[in-house]
Structure 1
Amino acid sequence: MTDIVDELQWRGLIAVSTDEDALRKAFADGPVTVYCGFDPTAPSLHLGNLVQILTIRRLQLAGHRPLGLVGGATGLIGDPKPTAERTLNDPAVVAEWVDRVRAQIEPFLSFEGPNAALMVNNLDWTSGLSAIEFLRDIGKHFRVNKMIAKEAVSRRLNSDQGISYTEFSYQILQGMDFLELYRRHGCTVQTGGSDQWGNLTAGIDLIHRVEGASVHALATPLITKADGTKFGKTEGGAIWLDPEMTTPYAFYQFWLNADDRDISTFVRIFSFRSREEIEELERSTAERPQARAAQRALAEELTTLVHGADQCAAVVAASKALFGQGDLAELDEATLAAALSELPRAEVTELAPVADLLALVDLVPSKSAARRTIKEGGAYLNNAKVTSEDATPSAGDLIHGRWLVLRRGKRNLGAVEVR
């Protein structure tokens, strides 16, 4: 056992919790059974969910037993959004997403040993529950005045959209989850994001009313970025854990490009390195930020954790090759295509002079500027310096028969696909 509360606090992973002394004692007297819920409201989890997955992983490594709950029932309803009513998804779609989300969580947990993890689905205890039973056995213990005081609910009540009874009831369902897991598995701790605090405490209150027992909750903070943009988002949208929705290369680049002002926070929250290793990375970043040691370390650690060592090696090789530190032709086609999809790019049906292509992908403002760049030795085609202002690539230059990689200077890249 480790003092997991101290560890989580040092990493900035506790935004709010129930009584800290009682929580600390519960963990010290453990092992405890702890759960975190994940609703299948999309076909993949994203970086915000990864915070929760890694938190219950840390708890398991500290000797406690994690329950991963995938909300086959709550996913049919949807947690109230601050702005508008959710669109209800077809039950068959939600069932498919349950399987996909479950498969994303499982690799992070161990299902062997004395504190083996367990995956559960709240549809198991809600599908056979009648409306009368739900209202008599569960709904009776909730007070409407407390329910409307929850932040997400109160914001919706004061908006033009209002809130449906369906979404208003979500906190009752989540509270019932905690009660069921307490009864079935002796679960006494729930974790979640700080925006879920009202739902977490709903379960605590329900267990206290029905069972007369005291249980605990802790919430992780919502992560913010120094530049004001939303964490886990890029111009292309959310960073997903599914490699078909966010490629391993794009996932790696997200961490590699992290702002120096954010990287210490990110490393503490997401890395499993020791305090000493993290503090050394923090010193290195402060002294030599241009080396991006912390960004590189975190990018490699998380890409390996989420996508595997082979995929991480492939994207690292691609990242190096794009900037002239490797052979582009040696990259497999899928990895190269994923890497080039992140660059300014254009499609052509026939080969054109390099000067034309540099302008086409906006690496230079004009063809005349492109010719000057070539003359000054600053233009590269597939990492080879272009020496002639009239140079035109041949079919033999096409990587995997379709790609040309252009570079101006050391770091300005573009891609041309020949169809």
Structure 2
Amino acid sequence: MKQTIDLGLVETGELTKIFDVIWMLRMEGTAIPGVIAHCAHGRRVWTISTDELSVVINGDSASFTGAYLIPLTILANAGRQNAANGDITLTVEGDVITAHSSLGKQTATCSMVAIPPTPSVKWSPSRASATLGGSNLKWTFFSGANAPFEAGLSGDDEDVSSPDHFTVEISNGVFQAYSDWTSAKLYPMRGTTSAETSGTAVVNVDPDFLAVIFQCVDSDSTWTISFDSSEPHHIELRSDTYHIIAKMTKVPVVELHERVLRVLEHEKFEHQTTESGLIGVRLDGVTVSFDFFQRESDETPMVRLSTIITRDCNESAELLREINCHNQGGSVVRLWYADGAVTSAIDLFPDNLHSLANRLRHLVREAGRLRGVLEPFAAEDALPARRTRRRRRPSTVERQPEVWD
């Protein structure tokens, strides 16, 4: 006889919170396999996750074991606005889940899954936080980041003229959101409110994050929002009921990193990525590092493809002469000597990413040719040691990425 697992009585308020999240994802065209329900610390816990968003909702008291992937329809039918069936009781028997309500019952298949790990963000001392009421939080986003009342009335293409990000900032006792709509022939906007703050930080955010704020943030709760300017990949929102982690910041270097990975996957290059984000590609026996930077002059992101031509070489006059001669010849491949090694590299900007595959192949071919040219000079006697030496080019790639070990 199959055991019946009682997930407990789920009241309308709890169901509505779940529905608001899955409806938001449906409106964005984001598909998820279902909602995971499990029990932790005597409460029912609902986990809804995508590649960019993790939403954990703490429900009412419950006591059951295991975690269950529940089809969206079961929860949507009960949680949608003005649902007539009210509270429901959920039971699982085998691979069937049943929603019992005052109107009857609905059944669907479900599956037992692993209990999802508790979501978390990497802590750092530069991470700032602001604690404030839900009404203040929503109002600040609405006032500073939502589309102006006149948006869409000018006859211009709204998708083209709308800003691709807004900005949120935490400072001393203040939380604010602001956006610039001058590209849409409108005006800049800023919403500011007082908050209990810790640290200071500023990040640019994708407009899609507004849906998370307007769908999930309830006015009566106290919320804490936190983010980090130095590692601006995740925004975290917490209340007594919700724990939300959103990867929705607009970071040009991160976006370039994602575009590069898509190119490498499309071209089927053998590659691996380290935890720090460094990409290593192996092509024709040559390992190439992909490093990401922002140009200091205008903060334009760039990716540097580099490989070491020869190691443990002497800094001889002949070697430096050959390096200078190569660099003055107008080649897209640049050379420099640092720390006993000669490195070759090509820099690419976002507008030139269509040539990434060709540039990578060219760098690998040149690496083989230059190795044969430079190794004899690298064996010559080194120049006498000098008290000070100015590097001809900053060394940002001191060794190949350890991604193949």
**What TM-score does the superposition give when structure 1 sets the normalisation length?**
0.25
**What TM-score does the superposition give when structure 2 sets the normalisation length?**
0.26
Structure with higher helix content: 1
Structure with higher strand content: 2
Point out the structure with max Rg over C-alpha: 2
